[in-house]
Structure 1
């Protein structure tokens, strides 16, 4: 039973990733590949592609972005249509020629696959969206395209090199508009150097560039990090910080609740509300699940702040060292370290919702 379940999960993840095999021919860039699920065992770059290996062997997932190529819409549509048709044909073939076992597997797998395709149709760039909604959303597709220089800049930022990311972004041809990805990279660079007001402005601009809640989740996480940095540095009063952080968290839950454990937002909210032990647990989990060094450094900074708030100073310093290893030039590391030196631990008083 267990092996059947694992096989089904792995097969479904592989089927959903099939369109990415078309690559540039299908108008797609594939900046990231994840093998498995759960805590990160290893991550690194293969070429310009982020590869993450996780602890649980539960299939493969890819991140895909549309490129500004000629006939992007038709190429993207054909890539997803070919993957969809091949999946249905393979399932029908297995049911017809695979004996009793093949029939049961195909009959069990195909309905789940179809439900996933239809269920994800409201989210851009999924197979369901491309096949059923993209023909009516061409303007949104244009806002989601990524310039090759943005791909390289995004990879550098993900690896924790904000200076290189800024230089690569500046190398784009003159007049290249800042869509979702340009604003996202500018927000990350500003966040890295401690310009929290600029980071927040760029994150808001990125959210406005794309109306879809799921597509905007990553930049809402950047907005939350900018709010936290501004609060820690004294730029944002506590009376403004908590309501804005709660609003950001609510929008993330609306867009893609499953993404929350991978980012430090839940821990930052718990810490702001005085739920210190919950903040420690959430930050530790986010640091273990983080997609790349950029977010691992952010999560470890939040982890350090949460640990310091409960008097576990030595562990907090160790968390800051891990943040420094992940992203040495992150300005927030010095801010959190300075706050730790001034911190006097008092009894927590949780804030009511």
Structure 2
């Protein structure tokens, strides 16, 4: 049974149980019970993320980014050195990325943290259900049902999961493989914050076995070393875990597009590399691909569809998951607007990219291409 199927099954189970609670008398006659069920369901979705954020450091976990909401980004900055991004459309959960770092008794810390979560949520639910009927009882009932759903569809992760409670004591390998070197973590956080030179300095002092491939790929792309970035992406595809392949294919496409902007590859070479990377992702339709990687916009531009490219790039530029992705998408937007002859708008897009990620090398290449196109347009009337 796949994790996706188990999650779908758990969601159906939660919905069915909630309907039974509301429709068959457990909450009957209690004013505000239905509102309480909805609030409890939302709280149950948020509680594991909030728990992971609250107890990350004592558990040996380091948060690398926090994102809340969907759509246009309202705030992008750092809180205690961690990139934080807030979007305008609320969602029922946070998107938290984390890594494990070496620590004493790491497995015990992770297990205790997960046990704490799966004791607190059911206990809170029981206490609220035993309280006075109405809104409070609805919240408690939903928390209990949500806890059952998470037990059925718990992700196989050592952080704040029922999987960790049951299996972590018997699987030492769960926390030995993916441990991050402290300098690698520092390089990743610096890269996310746009401090590329400092990220490079942190990478340069890493030992050879620190597993820096994806972070190194990001630094190479930001620095403008596109041939090396392509090699790094191919190395990840050859030797890395399957979970890293999506990022590697995206990096492969991104390196090709930026190399084309820099004049290192012809348009035909860029298109061949981008098509190869997008086809390897096997997402199906163009719209399905757009939800995964922003290079669909570059593929549209390479196919001589600048209007479509501008629309796709704008979507990622306004709602991408990090300043790096958003700045790169603003570069793609500027290229598409340049082909449409909207050079003022293209320069405005580049200005936004520079504010988001001033050390991104691609900004200079696209800016130079826009200036060259403007010079050509000025010289053409004189030649005629």
Is TM-score (shorter-chain normalized) higher than 0.5?
Answer: yes
2:114 pairs with 1:80: yes
Unaligned runs of 5+ in 1: 346-353
CA contact (8 A) 2:156 2:164 kept: no
Determine which of 233, 236, 259 is the counterpart of 1:230: 259
Judged with a 3 Å threshold, the aligned counterparts in structure 2 of structure 1 residues 271 and 145 are, in CA distance, closer, same or farther, namely farther
Q: Aligned partners of 2:276, 2:160: CA distance in 1, in Å?
A: 27
Q: TM-score, normalised by structure 2?
A: 0.73
Judged with a 3 Å threshold, the aligned counterparts in structure 2 of structure 1 residues 205 and 24 are, in CA distance, closer, same or farther, namely farther
1:148 is matched with: 182
Counterpart secondary structure, 1:24? coil
Judged with a 3 Å threshold, the aligned counterparts in structure 2 of structure 1 residues 11 and 217 are, in CA distance, closer, same or farther, namely farther
Q: Aligned partners of 1:238, 1:113: CA distance in 2, in Å?
A: 53
2:209 is matched with: 177
Deviates more, 1:34-43 or 1:151-160: 34-43
Q: Aligned partners of 2:42, 2:342: CA distance in 1, in Å?
A: 40
Determine which of 98, 104, 109 is the counterpart of 2:138: 104
Q: Aligned partners of 1:47, 1:177: CA distance in 2, in Å?
A: 28
Deviation at 1:331, TM superposition (A): 1.8
1:92 is matched with: 126
Deviates more, 1:88-97 or 1:303-312: 88-97
Determine which of 304, 318, 334 is the counterpart of 1:304: 334
Determine which of 324, 327, 333 is the counterpart of 2:354: 324
Unaligned runs of 5+ in 2: 1-33, 377-384
Residues paired across the two proteins, number: 338
After superposition, the C-alpha distances for 1:294-341 in whole angstroms (9 at most, x for unaligned) are 222211101111222222221111111211222233221122223334
CA contact (8 A) 1:263 1:295 kept: no
1:351 is matched with: none
1:44 is matched with: 77
Q: Aligned partners of 2:296, 2:157: CA distance in 1, in Å?
A: 23
Judged with a 3 Å threshold, the aligned counterparts in structure 2 of structure 1 residues 211 and 338 are, in CA distance, closer, same or farther, namely same
Deviates more, 1:5-14 or 1:305-314: 5-14
CA contact (8 A) 1:40 1:55 kept: yes
Q: TM-score, normalised by structure 1?
A: 0.79
Judged with a 3 Å threshold, the aligned counterparts in structure 2 of structure 1 residues 210 and 342 are, in CA distance, closer, same or farther, namely same
2:324 pairs with 1:294: yes
After superposition, the C-alpha distances for 1:93-126 in whole angstroms (9 at most, x for unaligned) are 3233352434433444544555466546267857
Structure with the bigger RCO (C-alpha within 8 Å, sep 6+) is 2
Q: Aligned partners of 1:217, 1:117: CA distance in 2, in Å?
A: 28
Q: Aligned partners of 1:258, 1:124: CA distance in 2, in Å?
A: 30
Deviates more, 1:64-73 or 1:109-118: 109-118
Judged with a 3 Å threshold, the aligned counterparts in structure 2 of structure 1 residues 253 and 158 are, in CA distance, closer, same or farther, namely farther
After superposition, the C-alpha distances for 1:132-184 in whole angstroms (9 at most, x for unaligned) are 67678765744432222222222221122211111122244xx35232xx222
Greater radius of gyration (CA): 2
2:14 is matched with: none
After superposition, the C-alpha distances for 1:164-211 in whole angstroms (9 at most, x for unaligned) are 111122244xx35232xx222211221122111211222343455652
2:56 pairs with 1:23: yes
Counterpart secondary structure, 2:349? helix
Q: Aligned partners of 2:303, 2:86: CA distance in 1, in Å?
A: 34
Counterpart secondary structure, 1:177? coil
CA contact (8 A) 1:32 1:50 kept: yes
Deviation at 1:3, TM superposition (A): 9.6
RMSD, aligned CA: 3.6
Judged with a 3 Å threshold, the aligned counterparts in structure 2 of structure 1 residues 76 and 220 are, in CA distance, closer, same or farther, namely farther
Q: Aligned partners of 2:106, 2:234: CA distance in 1, in Å?
A: 27
